[in-house]
Chains A and B, each alone.
Chain A
Amino acid sequence: MKSHNRYELSGGQRILRWLYVLTLIVMGFTGFGQMPIFKRYYIADIPGMAWAANFFLTHYIHYLGAIFLFALIAYVILGYILSGRKQFSLTASAYVRIALLGGIVVTGIFRVFKNLPDVVFFPGFTLFIDIAHLGFMMVYIFSALFFLIIKSGWVVRKSY
Chain B
Amino acid sequence: MANEISRRLFIKGGLAAIGTVGASSLPLPATVRGATQGALATLIDIRKCIGCEACVEACQEVNEPKFPEPEKPFPKMYPSRVKVSDWSDERDVMDRLTPYNWLFIQEATVTVNGEEQTFTIPRRCMHCQNPPCADLCPWGAARKLKNGITRIDADICLGGSKCKAVCPWHIPERQTGVGLYMDILPAFAGNGVMYKCDRCYDRLEQGELPACIEVCPENVQKIGPRDEIIKEAHAIAKEINGHIYGEKENGGTNTIYVSPVPFEELNKAMEKGPGKPHMKPVEDSMAHADNLAKAMVIAPLAGAVAALGKFYKFTKNDNGSEESRK
CB distance from A93 to the nearest CB of B (A): 23
- Cβ A120 vs Cβ B138 within 8 A: no
Across the interface, B289 reaches (CB within 8 A) one of A34, A115, A118, A127, namely: A115
Q: Please, which residues of chain B bring their CB within 8 A of the CB of A116? A: 130, 290, 293
Q: Please, which residues of chain B bring their CB within 8 A of the CB of A76? A: 303, 307
Report the separation of the CA atoms of residues A126 and B145 in the bound assembly, to the nearest whole angstrom.
12
- Cβ of B299 within 8 Å of any chain A Cβ, yes or no, is yes
- Cβ A40 vs Cβ B162 within 8 A: no
- Cβ A112 vs Cβ B296 within 8 A: yes
Number of contact residues on A: which range applies?
A: 35 or more
Given contacts A36-B165, A42-B79, A55-B162, contact A74 B292 (CB under 8 A): no
- Selecting from B41-49, B63-71, B235-243, B308-316, the interface stretch reads B308-316
- Cβ of B156 within 8 Å of any chain A Cβ, yes or no, is yes
- Cβ of A146 within 8 Å of any chain B Cβ, yes or no, is no
- Cβ B299 vs Cβ A63 within 8 A: no
Q: Please, which residues of chain A bring their CB within 8 A of the CB of B290? A: 115-117
- Cβ A40 vs Cβ B81 within 8 A: yes
Across the interface, A70 reaches (CB within 8 A) one of B139, B285, B299, namely: B299
Instruction: Give A115-143 interface residues, CB cut-off 8 Å to B.
Output: 115-118, 120-121, 123, 126-127, 129-130
Nearest chain-A residue to B312 (Cβ)? A82
- Cβ B140 vs Cβ A123 within 8 A: yes
- Cβ of A73 within 8 Å of any chain B Cβ, yes or no, is yes
- Cβ A66 vs Cβ B296 within 8 A: yes
- Cβ A74 vs Cβ B314 within 8 A: no
Residue picked from B285, B296, B302, B314, most chain A C-beta under 10 Å: B296
Report the separation of the CA atoms of residues A123 and B146 in the bound assembly, to the nearest whole angstrom.
12
- Cβ A127 vs Cβ B130 within 8 A: no
Instruction: Give A64-89 interface residues, CB cut-off 8 Å to B.
Output: 64, 66-68, 70-79, 82-83
Q: Please, which residues of chain B bring their CB within 8 A of the CB of A83? A: 311, 314
- Cβ A115 vs Cβ B79 within 8 A: no
- Cβ of A51 within 8 Å of any chain B Cβ, yes or no, is no
Nearest chain-A residue to B291 (Cβ)? A63
- Cβ of A56 within 8 Å of any chain B Cβ, yes or no, is yes
- Cβ of A157 within 8 Å of any chain B Cβ, yes or no, is no
- Cβ of A158 within 8 Å of any chain B Cβ, yes or no, is no
- Cβ A75 vs Cβ B311 within 8 A: no
Q: Please, which residues of chain A bring their CB within 8 A of the CB of B251? A: 117
- Cβ of B175 within 8 Å of any chain A Cβ, yes or no, is no
Q: Please, which residues of chain A bring their CB within 8 A of the CB of B132? A: 56
Report the separation of the CA atoms of residues A109 and B308 in the bound assembly, to the nearest whole angstrom.
24
Given contacts A63-B289, A120-B145, contact A73 B303 (CB under 8 A): yes
Report the separation of the CA atoms of residues A127 and B165 in the bound assembly, to the nearest whole angstrom.
20
Number of interface residues of B (CB under 8 A): 46
Given contacts A115-B293, A130-B138, contact A71 B303 (CB under 8 A): yes
- Cβ A123 vs Cβ B143 within 8 A: yes
- Cβ B293 vs Cβ A63 within 8 A: yes
Q: Please, which residues of chain A bring their CB within 8 A of the CB of B129? A: 117-118
Report the separation of the CA atoms of residues A75 and B305 in the bound assembly, to the nearest whole angstrom.
8
Nearest chain-B residue to A130 (Cβ)? B140
- Cβ A75 vs Cβ B306 within 8 A: yes
- Cβ B79 vs Cβ A41 within 8 A: yes
- Cβ B165 vs Cβ A55 within 8 A: yes
Q: Please, which residues of chain B bring their CB within 8 A of the CB of A118? A: 129
- Cβ of A35 within 8 Å of any chain B Cβ, yes or no, is yes
Q: Please, which residues of chain A bring their CB within 8 A of the CB of B311? A: 78-79, 82-83
Given contacts A35-B160, A36-B161, A115-B293, contact A70 B303 (CB under 8 A): yes
Given contacts A55-B166, A68-B299, A120-B144, contact A74 B304 (CB under 8 A): yes
Report the separation of the CA atoms of residues A41 and B78 in the bound assembly, to the nearest whole angstrom.
9
Q: Mark A38-69, 1 if CB is under 8 A from B, else 0.
A: 00111000000000000110011001101110
Instruction: Give B174-227 interface residues, CB cut-off 8 Å to A.
Output: 189
Across the interface, A67 reaches (CB within 8 A) one of B130, B153, B162, B295, namely: B295
5 pairs of A and B residues whose beta carbons are closest in the complex? A74-B303, A126-B140, A71-B303, A78-B307, A36-B160
Name 11 interchain pairs, CB-CB below 8 A, sorted by A: A34-B136, A35-B138, A56-B166, A71-B299, A77-B307, A78-B311, A79-B307, A114-B135, A117-B286, A118-B129, A123-B140
| Chain B residues near A (Cβ < 8 Å) | 79, 81-82, 129-130, 132, 135-136, 138-141, 143-146, 153, 156, 160-162, 165-166, 189, 251, 285-286, 288-290, 292-293, 295-296, 299-304, 306-308, 310-311, 314
